[in-house]
Amino acid sequence: MEIKVIVGDIAQIEADAIVVNLFEGVEQPGGATAAVDKALDGAISSLISRGEIKGKFGEVNIVHTFGKLPAGIVAIAGLGKRQDFSVDKIRGVAGEFCRALRKLNCHKIATIVHGAGIGGIELEASAEAIAEGALLGLYSFTKYKKPEYEDIEEMRIVVREKEKVPILELAIGKGKLVASATNAARDMINEPANYMTPSQMAEAAKEIASKYNLEFKVFDREDMEAMGMEALLGVAKGSNQPPKLITLSYKGDERSEKALGFLGKGITFDSGGISIKASEGMGAMKDDMAGAAAVMTALGAIAQLKPKINVTAIIPATENLPSGTALKPGDVLKAINGKTIEVISTDAEGRLILADALSYAQKLGLSPIIDLATLTGACRVALGTLYSGVFGNDQDLIDKILKAAEKTGERMWQMPMPEEYKEQNKSEIADVKNTGNRYGGAITAALFLAEFVANTPWVHIDIAGTASSTKESGYIIKGATGIGVRTLIELALSEAKNQEAI
């Protein structure tokens, strides 16, 4: 979809549909909505007084103009309660009105800048959020079927201030870039596991590297054997698909050898291995590489934004399947850092491959390290499907990630890491075992990962509950969400700014 800023009066724009708005509880529309209402002989005011238009967040009311305006349709987007309004609400509003108008076969639409002025939000922030929310909300995965609706081809963001156009176009450009990276991650996650194997994931990383001038490396089984990655290779033993360890590197600061580390869990299909999962819902386990997809596409976006910072992504990729050669409960593996691991459950495989990836990140000298993983069902039990769990050994880094997440609208919640729970990970025959008991499972999984980062500042983000959605809401759609992409991009940008300020 083409998105541009134009100067004009929304009521005079020729399009299939124009979009205005209303806060919840407002009885008399103002601003652009009032101008459109007047042109429609008070139709909007009448519908408000009758209670048909309430302005609730997520509502999109349609009024046909019957020739009274150049546009055929007016959509009134509900902004919700004014005190709850935010930039993230603008993203949600854009997603909702775009989907509503797509269903009405609108190809060309125009919208005002929602939240500017009375909403207390800067024009640039609103324009960026509209572009981002529109592209995220219109996403659909139609590679293997015919699309249900035709695409909206163009959206015009209409403003009064001509002098603002250049800066608004830059803001829109960033919104489009971030949304495109998130949608690219969604595409990878939504791919069936027979089309997104570890080898195909490596090819996808290679394409990103080629397109955005990133350094790319891929290590095969023989390389990992030489490096001593028994934990990753142990998980891979049950599959005929060869495992891959993928790295992507962005060099934005030639003066520095320091680099931020992004790690993503890349289990392209998780059956549970010998500790096999129930068959119901197993097909959804193609999304167990959501962390890997997020760090890969985030790096592509960072390369386009060109912040003065160095970032390296590490993606351990494999399938987790049962077979005659598969890893067994009771087996002992040695990670690259020399620590031995007793395998209690082969379905706790994500932490095994991350053990080697984290150790490798340390060897490369990456700091700080952030890993993103669909790690535990326990995190979903604890936080539901709206919040990702954040664990770490450095409060300053945790705060930075929570701040970046808040800015992007990706909900995250800090979880505790009490030393007392480490007792659950103690093994009788190895340095550590790969599961504790059923209580506090997300915490004990994070404590397991902490064994492989030593003193490096590190944060683990458990996205098991947030990597996919079963319903549409705002800019979230059914299927893969692309969670983490926008937070990682924002973190890299803010870290670059912090380093420049020093």
* Residues whose CB falls within 8 Å of the CB of residue 419, separated by 6 or more in sequence, listed in order: none
Does 174 qualify as catalytic in the annotation?
Answer: no
Strand partners, 388: 412
Preceding omega of 368 cis (within 30 degrees of 0): yes
DSSP annotation of 284 = G
133 within 8 A of 58, measured Cβ to Cβ:
no
- Tell me the C-alpha distance between 141 and 230, whole Å: 36
Q: Which residue has the tokens 């729970």?
A: 421
Does 277 qualify as catalytic in the annotation?
Answer: yes
* Token output for 206: 């290679």
- Tell me the C-alpha distance between 430 and 277, whole Å: 26
- Residue 270 dihedral angles phi and psi, to the nearest 5°: -125, 105
- Tell me the C-alpha distance between 127 and 122, whole Å: 9
- E strand or H helix at 502, and its extent? none
Catalytic residue among 54, 277, 328, 407: 277
Catalytic residue among 176, 334, 351, 400: 351
- Long-range contacts (CB closer than 8 Å, 24 or more residues apart) made by 376-382: 376/441, 376/442, 376/445, 376/462, 376/464, 377/441, 377/464, 378/438, 378/440, 378/441, 378/442, 378/445, 379/415, 379/441, 379/442, 379/462, 379/464, 379/465, 380/464, 380/465, 381/441, 382/415, 382/442
* SS3 (DSSP) at 434: coil
Length of the chain: 502
- Tell me the C-alpha distance between 172 and 3, whole Å: 8
188 within 8 A of 300, measured Cβ to Cβ:
no
- Tell me the C-alpha distance between 389 and 460, whole Å: 8
* Token output for 169: 């176009």
Q: State the catalytic residues.
A: 277, 351
